[in-house]
Amino acid sequence: MYNAIDTLFDQHLGRFGRSLIGFEPTLRRLSTAETVDNGGYPPYNLERISEQEYRITLAVAGFTMSDLDITLADNKLTVSGSTSDRKNTSGSDWIHKGIAERSFTRTFVLADHVVVNNAKLENGLLTIELTREIPEALKPRKIAITGSDVVGSISSQ
């Protein structure tokens, strides 16, 4: 049955032919990834720190730790923020409110074996540290070749 996974495969990975084996779950996860358009809010950076380490930094000025929520489910890291529970306790009448404290949701699809190490809120920046940890069983290894090392020869007479 030809479905969205096959279409995605043909459009983006077709040049590799059908020599990729076992990528269907990853392609399915990518094709069904939630895309919530918040008009680019909040802005964020994605950094590669090293071959196995990554960092996501979101600019969340005006949010407190209790306003933010980070969840990881099915290789999707979702960061959301809401200030709707907070009331204006200062009693002031805003003349200009330029710090956008509106609710948001950002979803990042993580590759297999990427783990979230920690999250830190400091100076209006939410930083999430990630590491790709390949299990020992999946790391490259040498395969021993067994059998006879003798190659038959043709004798001439």
Strand partners, 108: 77
| pLDDT at residue 94, rounded to an integer | 77
| pLDDT at residue 37, rounded to an integer | 58
Answering whether pTM is above 0.85, one says no
The 10s digit of each residue's pLDDT in 38-72 is: 678 899 999 999 989 999 999 999 899 999 999 99
To which H or E segment does residue 48 belong? strand 44-48
Q: Which has the closest alpha carbon to 106: 126, 92, 130?
A: 126
CATH 2.60.40.790: does it fit domain 36-87+96-135? yes
| pLDDT at residue 1, rounded to an integer | 44
pLDDT lower than 70: segments of the chain = 1-38, 85-91, 150-157
- Give Cβ neighbours of residue 20 (< 8 Å, ≥ 6 apart): 13
Domain positions in the chain are 1-32, 36-87+96-135
Helices (H) and strands (E) in the chain, counts: 2, 7
